[in-house]
Structure 1
Amino acid sequence: MKKILILCISILTISCTGTAQKDSKIEKKEYAVSKSNKEWKEILTNDQYYILRQAGTERPFSSPLNKVYASGTFKCAACKTPLYKSKHKFDSGTGWPSFDRAVKGNVDVDTDYKLGYARTELVCSTCGGHLGHVFNDGPRETTGKRHCINGDALVFEPKKDK
């Protein structure tokens, strides 16, 4: 009986150690645009830095981009990567700019546990800047997705007339 107890404790200890070692080897993606915190602070406003580099959230209804529906492209405020087309923007009533899809390949998906449960986080695929989150309550007639994006993570470039 004593030998079985020692064996069980040994197996439990080894299995816990194995899991801990796997967690410590998680690799972060390297982005094409990479800067130090000091460099980001030099090129971003305080609000942009808070959102993009510290994964903050702006107050709802505070962004001037919330009601911009002109033709054009919403780009990453940090690296200017095109992220969203205005034709995919809609008024979700949430107080944040909302889109039903991103420019293909320019927004990465990650998992965020900051509130104690899993949320699907959206980040710029070029610089890794935090943009917002995606939810499944978007327009059913299109994708059904709502990309809830912080306005301070974006800059708007109007479409140029030809």
Structure 2
Amino acid sequence: MEKKRTISVSVVNEHGVLSRISGLFAGRGYNIESLTVAPIPESDLSRVTIVTDGDAKVFEQIIKQLHKLIPVLNVVENDDFLEKEMALVKIPIEEDIASIEVLCRAYNGNVANANEKYIIVTVTDKPYRISSFLKAIKKFNPKEMIRSGTVALERY
């Protein structure tokens, strides 16, 4: 049975690490739904958050292969992550700004920027809620929409 999984990988922040990780997935035909990488503050490490899907056997293979990569220090895979995503949406200024603001607040967001042509809103929430927001905001004729990848942290 296919299931969406989140994996958090701590790696040494050096050239080529991301290439090796993405190559591991590509070489075995595994899909990456979301990939986010950022340095861990006050260290020489980075955190790679990968959202992938597959059955239990595929997921087990992914974890084993990640452990074998040299710059990988730690691989965490469990079902108890706090996960967040962000979306930015550019909307023509002629749209109903009050309704847009109400919708944004419902998804932990607000108006981040405005000029004579557009407003840009930002929302940060759980990945499935970002998907819902992006569907709902379409009624305001967005010019552009973009979403980040998932970031995750173990709850315990």
Q: TM-score range by the shorter chain?
A: under 0.3
Bigger-Rg structure (1/2)? 1
TM-score w.r.t. structure 2 length? Answer: 0.25
TM-score (normalised: structure 1): 0.24
Higher relative contact order (CA 8 A, sep 6+): 2
